[in-house]
Structure formats: C-alpha cells, structure tokens
Amino acid sequence: MPLSTTPLAEVDVTAGPWPGATHRVGDLDLHVRRTPADGPDAPAATAVYVHGLGGSSTNWTDLGVLLGRHAAGHAVDLPGFGFSEPLDGFEFSLSAHADVLADYLAEHTDGPVHLVGNSMGGAISMLVAARRPELVRTLTLVSPAVPDLRPDPRRLSDPRLALAYLPVLGKRARRELAAMTSRQRAEQVIRLCFADPSSFPAHRFDELVEEHGARLAYDWAERAMSRSTMEIFRAWFTLGAGSLWSVAPRIVAPTLVVWGTQDRVISVRRAPRTARLIPRARLLVLPRTGHVAQMERPTTVAKAMLGMWESVEAGHW
C-alpha cells in the first residue's frame, strides 16, 4: 500500500478538539465538529469521519488536522454519543445509524465525500457505501466492526461488561460499573484500544476524561451504549443478505482497509477477508497498533488515505 509523499498539515499537539455545532437531520439535532480545508489552494473535497462504539467526534482531531490541506473535515457524533441526543424510540441498530449518516451526507455535504469509519463507525460506513454509492467518493475503514465472535475476555474494557446484561448478576455489575469515575473509564478505554497505552498524549487523555464525565450527566448515554452494543452483536449473528459479509461485495467505492496487528477488539485476522470481499479495496496492516489506528498512528493513516485519494484521482486505484 503506497503512502503519499505530499506534505501534510502540521498538528498542534496542545490544540483541543475542532469546534462543534448542531445540524438538523430530519427531527434530530446531530452534533458535528468541522475543520475547514487549510489554505487558499486546498481542494473542495470533504472527508466525513465516523467514530466507533463508545467514541465520539473527538476521536478524529489529529487525523482531520493532518489532512486539512486536502479536505475539509466533518466529524459526527452518532445519535446517543458525544453531544448528539437520540430521538425517543431510536433503535440504535447499525442500519438506523447508517440512515442518519446518509441523510447527513445528502443534506449537509456537496457531492460525494471521502467517508472514514472506525469500528462501529466502519460497519455503519460500509452500509452507507453499499446503499448510497452516490454519496461516497472513497471509503476508509479502520478496524471496522465486522463479525468477530471470539469468546475472549481481553476484548472488553472491563470483565464486568460480560455480566452487565444478565438477569440476576447483571444488576450488581451495572451498579459497580456506574460507580466508576470518568478517569477510570478513560483509563480502561485506552488500555483496551491502544497497543501502547503509554503513548496516548496526556492532553488527549484529559480531554477523554472530561468527555466521559460529561456523558455521566446524560440519561440517554448508558442506553445508547448498551443498545448499540447489543445491535452490533445482532448484526454479527445475521446471516444471508443482511450480513456485513454480504454487504461488503456491494461496495463500489475505492476502499482502504486499515488494521492494527494488536487490535484486541476486532481481530486483525478479519482484515484479509474484509479487504478481499470489497471489490476495490486495498489493505494496510500496521504493526504495534491497536484498535484506533487513526489515534495511535495518525500520520501513517493520513499518508495512506492521501495516497489513496491521489491514486483515485490519477485513475490508478
């Protein structure tokens, strides 16, 4: 997989997340963080970034800035995550999230976009690319949440999560989990998602702690997390035309699949099949990298994405 040699924008390691605002999508107020293309000669391209389960638009801060010379960035908070309050009755399925994302693209972007998704956001982006190909110029999937049914407790940020939804034991587990501080929650996420948790920047950790603390005030946050988790499992057990493995061959957009060799959440063993099933996909496997390569290796991911964009424009993908 060739990496671009075109210079990237510089990242201010002390800068906070991009500014955010709400955008109306149907009856929903969707919170979106935007970064403009950097510089007067920047092309009129748009990249839309979609976070994973338990994540938010802040997961894309550094990657979006790195690519700012080449595309304006839109990082969405999916319904029930970040600052996007879900509507009553929202079902939190991958399909429902995909419908919201597709409507956002149709109503708030000009022309097909470079769509980028991580984990759950990757699975959602696959659905959008397959269903609404006119909205997607290229697709980048970072450890997408394709079916992975390994019974491995190391995949959980906390072993009590395996008990949280059981009839009897679940009540105590949920009570203990609810009592955790925002700092403890943030530490668990980093240990799970990063191959080297010590490499997580201190200022980004403080942002993550603040974000987890803010979510504790939302009465819909826990429901969104639990329901989205269950809907991912439901999708993994779906067979036939509804399976994500059946969705992949219907994606016509040029696609870059990125995976870390030390991904504990979705095994890198799923990477070859994912890339093989998508007709125009290429695979980049990163050593010493976990589940959120866009955060752990933002420069490498940015160069790979830009390399794809340049190849597509040159007709070489």
Structure tokens at 185: 């929650």
Asked if residue 69 belongs to a domain, the reply is: yes
pLDDT per residue over 113-134, tens digit each?
999 999 999 999 999 999 999 9
- Is the predicted pLDDT of residue 168 greater than 80, yes or no? no
Q: What is the DSSP letter of 284?
A: E
**CA–CA distance, 244 with 156 (Å, rounded to integer):** 22
Q: Cβ contacts of residue 206 below 8 Å, gap of 6+? A: none
pTM: 0.92
The model's confidence at residue 292, banded by pLDDT at 50, 70 and 90, is very high
Query: What is the domain count for the chain?
Result: 1
Average pLDDT over the chain, rounded to an integer: 89
Asked if residue 203 belongs to a domain, the reply is: no
The model's confidence at residue 189, banded by pLDDT at 50, 70 and 90, is confident
**CA–CA distance, 142 with 266 (Å, rounded to integer):** 10
Q: Cβ contacts of residue 245 below 8 Å, gap of 6+? A: 146, 147, 273, 277
Asked if residue 120 belongs to a domain, the reply is: yes
How many C-beta atoms lie closer than 10 Å to residue 174's C-beta? 18
CATH number at residue 98: 3.40.50.1820
The model's confidence at residue 162, banded by pLDDT at 50, 70 and 90, is very low
Domain boundaries, position 242: 20-149+221-313
232 closest CA partner among 244, 221, 223: 244
Asked if residue 60 belongs to a domain, the reply is: yes
154 φ/ψ sector (left φ>0, alpha ψ -120 to 50, else beta): alpha
Q: What is the mean pLDDT of residues 218-223?
A: 92
* pLDDT value of position 226: 84
Asked if residue 27 belongs to a domain, the reply is: yes
Asked if residue 154 belongs to a domain, the reply is: no
Asked if residue 284 belongs to a domain, the reply is: yes
